[in-house]
Structure 1
Amino acid sequence: MNPTDPRPVYTRATEQAAALIRTVRPEQLDGPTPCAEFDVRTLVSHIVGGTRRIAIVGEGGDGLAEPAFTEGVPDDGCAEAYDEVRTRAIKAWESEDRMAAPVRVPWGEVPGHAALSGYVMEIVTHTWDLGESLGHPVALDPDLAEFALAAGHLNLPDPERDSRTPFDSAHPAPEGADAYTRLAAWLGRRPLA
């Protein structure tokens, strides 16, 4: 397990996602993403829903009872919806006790710090997805991708994935690829060419 406290990394990752979400224009909401089943609107809904899920887990609730998507986020209210839920998630994980306590997340029961590390992987990956979709309007922090990639290797050590895994099987990253490209490849993503 990565001994690094994931809370400051998660905070930075949510700040990065929030900056990117603020750049989304209404005409981009129907555009494609590297997640073939998501358009930009659905991806942002999933980012909000996933963040709500980890907030509930941090508050001691059952995050799996929460849908992975947030319905009804107005097209012009994406940034506000995400800011509200990410603030809630950051507050929910302030306790040292919560970091050590066992919690239930989609990949099993794990200590809180492992759950939050997994959600760093989730938000950083979806931030890359959104950046690809929007034409890279915000430079992404490579340190966040390195942390997310380490969490990805820990939480999804097998490069072959089945239909129960929310990420596709890994594929090779190009030689000399940056951290985001390696993260995307490990999680089965391909850039929108």
Structure 2
Amino acid sequence: MTTTDDLPTDPRPTWFAALDRVAALAAAVPADRMADPTPCDGFDVRTLLAHLVTTVRRPAALAAGTDPAAPPLVSADVLDAPAAAYVAEAAAVQVAWSRPDTGALLDRTVRLPFGEVPGRTAVWAFVNETLVHGWDLAVATGQDPEGDPELATTALVAARQLIPAEPRGGPVPFAPVVPPAPGAGPAERLANWSGRSRP
């Protein structure tokens, strides 16, 4: 990961908008789609939602001063109702990261599971992870995969700065960039940059 030049200095509003977007998608998942496959390898809809819970528990831990690497890849404790858990925890993490003391993390180096990065870079990483998995969820459940094009475009600018196109794998835990399909919107192109494609 590199820098976040030419992006808003406070990435939290962008992240909060991404969380709201994905919470709305999660709330609309039909109960009979939980076992459906997703574009995210190894995850069906249920386990993708439980992984999304982990993606908010890690920054919640950062805000609380605890180990953000502690939450497992999939939050197994919410598998009975992962969509409701995500909606609740996505709202709670916004409250936690709205505090002045947490805002100060933007100007510090923080440790995440993939290494030490500036706090602002960490939040841009949260934006990317949220929206890419939101795209996964929307595609898997037949919902609108694009959402707000301005939000996805901002996230794509950040992703191109923070996640190198090459190399991929190892310390850059993404599959190779997928060439966008003709007419692909910004959310799909963001997913493509993270190595995702439609099934």
TM score, norm. by length of structure 1: 0.90
> What pairs with 1:44-55 in structure 2 (closer than 5 Å)?
44-55=49-60
CA distance in 2, matches of 1:148, 1:187: 12
Task: Please name the residue that 2:165 is paired with.
Answer: 158
CA distance in 1, matches of 2:184, 2:156: 13
User: Which ranges of structure 1 fall in alignment gaps of 5 or more residues?
Assistant: none
Q: CA deviation at 1:25?
A: 1.6
Task: Please name the residue that 1:123 is paired with.
Answer: 130
Q: Which amino acid aligns with 2:162?
A: N
Q: CA deviation at 1:66?
A: 2.0
C-alpha contact (below 8 Å) 1:19/1:138 kept by paired residues: no
> What pairs with 1:34-183 in structure 2 (closer than 5 Å)?
34-75=39-80, 77-94=81-98, 95=100, 96-137=103-144, 140-183=147-190
C-alpha contact (below 8 Å) 1:64/1:105 kept by paired residues: yes
Q: Which amino acid aligns with 2:84?
A: E
Cα deviations across residues 148-188 of structure 1 (Å, max 9, x unaligned)?
Answer: 21222222113441145432111211344321121111111
Runs of 4+ in 1 over 3 A off after TM superposition: 163-166
Cα deviations across residues 86-141 of structure 1 (Å, max 9, x unaligned)?
Answer: 12321222233122121111332112121011100000000000000011257611
Identical residues among aligned pairs (%): 37
C-alpha contact (below 8 Å) 1:121/1:147 kept by paired residues: no
Q: Which segment is superposed worse, 27-36 or 86-95?
A: 86-95
Q: Which amino acid aligns with 1:6?
A: P
C-alpha contact (below 8 Å) 2:11/2:120 kept by paired residues: yes
Residue among 22, 28, 37 paired with 1:32: 37
Q: Which segment is superposed worse, 171-180 or 51-60?
A: 171-180
Q: Which amino acid aligns with 1:31?
A: D
Change (3 A) 1:31 1:115: same
User: Which ranges of structure 2 fall in alignment gaps of 5 or more residues?
Assistant: none
2:10 counterpart of 1:8: no
TM score, norm. by length of structure 2: 0.87
Say how many residue pairs are matched.
Answer: 191
SS of residue in 2 equivalent to 1:125: helix
2:197 counterpart of 1:190: yes
CA distance in 1, matches of 2:133, 2:86: 13
CA distance in 2, matches of 1:114, 1:12: 17
The alignment's C-alpha RMSD in Å is: 1.9
